[in-house]
Amino acid sequence: LVTGPTGSGKTTTLYALLKLLNDPEVNITTIEDPVEYKLTGVNQIQVNPQTNLTFAKGLRSIVRQDPDIILVGEIRDNETAEIAVNAALTGHLLLSTFHANDAATAIPRLLDMGVEPFLLASTLEVIIAQRLVRRICEGCRYSKVVRVKELEKTFIHSSRLFKGKTVTLYAGKGCAMCGNTGYRGRTGVFEFIRLSPKLQELILHNPSTQQVWEVARKEKSTTLFEDGMEKVRNGITTFEELMRVAPPSR
């Protein structure tokens, strides 16, 4: 399950997964709104409100065809969620997106939609939350040593994020390659939760987002911000861009 707001690259991530899984001997069927890219070897169906073809109705029809892998463009309502969970329960690998701010929030949100806890615990494998940040232009990237106290003028609590009095950060000067913006292209920052036996047991008790995160954290899950900080340290994006898109939330 891939979560995030509109425009965070969820569909691109799902398509990348499908390309990895695509094989002539594997039957893959999707239901999307709309079909954004044509994929060779994949049966793609587009939602059509005019003919009353909804995610739920399309998914129900797809399950009867017994494909190996199903992609549902988005789980928007209780009916779609229930059909998706039951499809996964019968042995189908199901990929989908869901609107949630982070990975941990997806579990209580799905339970609030009426999905039975024991069904969700039995079928959910991995939750990915993501955001897109702009990449520093490689044509004009440079490093700079910044005093942490200077960062605190703009970003409160910066001293908690960096050890020492100074830190080396990267930025783009601006050039013809990037239209003098200092950025060229985008990349993702990600948060992963893999459903362990402890999390499966927790789901049975209708947990809060905080309870889910506490268990996931003990099992080495990292936040969007922490993944983003790795990209800041490696000169892939700027600290300012990360703070704009995925500031620390916990």
What confidence tens digit (pLDDT) does each residue in 98-135 have?
999 999 999 999 999 999 999 999 999 999 999 999 99
For the entire predicted model, the pTM comes to 0.92
- Predicted local confidence at residue 155, as pLDDT: 84
d(CA 237, CA 186): 9
Domains of the chain: 2-132+186-226 (3.40.50.300)
Q: Are the C-beta atoms of residues 215 and 120 closer than 8 Å to each other?
A: no
- Predicted local confidence at residue 21, as pLDDT: 96
Q: Is 210 helix (H, G, I), strand (E, B) or coil?
A: helix
Which two structure tokens, joined as six digits, stand for 178? 């990037």
Per-10-residue mean pLDDT of the chain, 250 residues long, equals: 96 96 96 93 95 94 94 95 94 95 97 97 98 98 94 82 91 98 98 97 98 97 95 97 92
- Predicted local confidence at residue 147, as pLDDT: 94
- Predicted local confidence at residue 164, as pLDDT: 86
- The most distant pair of C-alpha atoms in the chain lies apart, rounded to whole Å, by 63
- Predicted local confidence at residue 186, as pLDDT: 98
Among 78, 85, 41, which Cα is nearest to 63's? Answer: 85
- Predicted local confidence at residue 250, as pLDDT: 73
Amino acid identity for residue 150 in this structure = E
Q: Is 94 helix (H, G, I), strand (E, B) or coil?
A: strand
Q: Are the C-beta atoms of residues 10 and 97 closer than 8 Å to each other?
A: yes
Determine the length of the chain.
250
Q: Are the C-beta atoms of residues 28 and 43 closer than 8 Å to each other?
A: yes
**Neighbouring residues of 69: CB distance < 8 A, sequence distance ≥ 6:** 18, 21, 26, 27, 28, 29, 92, 93, 94, 95
- Predicted local confidence at residue 162, as pLDDT: 87
